[in-house]
Amino acid sequence: MTNSENTILTVGSLAFDTVETPAGKADQVLGGSCNYFSIAASFFTPVQIVGVVGQDFPQNHLETLNSRGIDISGVEISAGKTFHWSGKYNQNLNEAQTLATDLNVLENFNPKLSPEHQKAPYVFLANIDPDLQLKVLEQNECSKLVACDSMNFWIEQKKEQLLTTLKKVDVLCINETEAYLLSGESNLSSAADKIFSLGPKTIILKRGEYGAALFTPTCTFAIPAYLTSKIVDPTGCGDSFAGALMGYIAKENLDRNTLTENPELWSKALKHAILNGCVMASFTIEDFSLNRIIKLDKTEFLERKSQFEKMISI
Ligand code: AMP
């Protein structure tokens, strides 16, 4: 498959998740940062995945991704078990309690990008080992923009490698609590200031039911979440938020030069990107696993988006 000027290459986890929420439990269901991200981003723009699964991973799911135009030629099927994450949410759905992280085939994964993947203009480093994020960055020309996600597991275990990655990243998109852990600060604004000094010039802080905040060198902005009453499982909300956000950035053909040459246009576009992210996440939370966003169609998405725009306008 050839790259378009809007193609996003993403590296992240393809997983089986075991999740418990106040609404119930789902055992060994499909998940992983890359899965949620790529499905959400595919609403906007072509996506290529770099990742690894075990021989236990269902072929029909890879076919489902493929049928949405997602390029899965970079997904390696390795001897062993697929990455498994187990987590629990209590009444506070904004924060998952990790019960188990079994890296399995992720442990020895060594991504090798095809010549096509080396030239993808947009790169999204979804939540995965920062060493793997770096390996992908070393092989891609990163011509337009690199964005990155992470989580407490990696901030605690591989902070140094994550800091090396961040020096090469344009946009960081992480949870509020992860931003506090990474920066050592305890309010949004100070955390953003600290993270600016680590590399990224645009910071998006995901805040669960409280929405998201945006920081660029010239703009600070916050948006609420789209409040749906059907709350089942927040797993993947952050990744699908990032998928819609990044999909919008790529579709609009924005790049790191937009930030330096036209900061106002950049900030305005980022506000729209975040709005799309909030709408996508509001669908993800309505069911376990990928069940809701895999059924979602564009009309439904656009209807909710326009409802949300009305909700937040004053
Ligand atoms: P979130 O969007 O933050 O809720 O991300 C949820 C997804 O992250 C789950 O589907 C997990 O499979 C995946 N995940 C959890 N822990 C890790 C980890 N340490 N590395 C990579 N992916 C993970």
Tell me if 1 is assigned to some domain. Answer: no
What mean pLDDT comes out for the span 70-94?
95
Tokens of 197: 């000094």
Tell me if 2 is assigned to some domain. Answer: no
Half-sphere CA count of 267, side-chain side, radius 13 A: 13
Rounded mean pLDDT of the chain?
96
Tell me if 54 is assigned to some domain. Answer: yes
Tell me if 215 is assigned to some domain. Answer: yes
On whether the pTM is more than 0.85, the answer is: yes
Tokens of 124: 């999204």
Domain extent for 248: 8-312
Contact 188, 182 (CB under 8 A): no
For residue 160, give the nearest of 125, 122, 188, 133 by alpha carbon: 133
Q: What's the domain count of the chain?
A: 1
Tell me if 3 is assigned to some domain. Answer: no
Tens-place pLDDT, residues 232-244:
999 999 999 999 9
CATH of the domain at 253: 3.40.1190.20
How far is residue 274's CA from residue 98's CA, in Å, rounded to a whole number? 26
Is it the case that residue 258 has pLDDT exceeding 90?
Answer: yes
For residue 50, give the nearest of 14, 23, 25, 84 by alpha carbon: 14
Give the DSSP letter string of 249-303.
HHHTT--HHHHHH-HHHHHHHHHHHHHHHHHHHHHHTTSSTTHHHHH--HHHHHH
What value does the CA radius of gyration of the chain take, rounded to a whole number of Å? 18
Tell me if 266 is assigned to some domain. Answer: yes
| Cα 30 to ligand 1 centre (Å) | 11
Residue nearest to atom 19 of ligand 1 (CA): 153
Tens-place pLDDT, residues 31-44:
999 999 999 999 99
What residues does 8 pair with on adjacent strands? 47, 122
Tens-place pLDDT, residues 223-232:
999 988 999 9
Tell me if 202 is assigned to some domain. Answer: yes
Q: Which of 151, 174, 237, 292 to mutate to test the pocket of ligand 1 (most atoms within 8 A of CB)?
A: 151
| Cα 203 to ligand 1 centre (Å) | 20
Tell me if 205 is assigned to some domain. Answer: yes
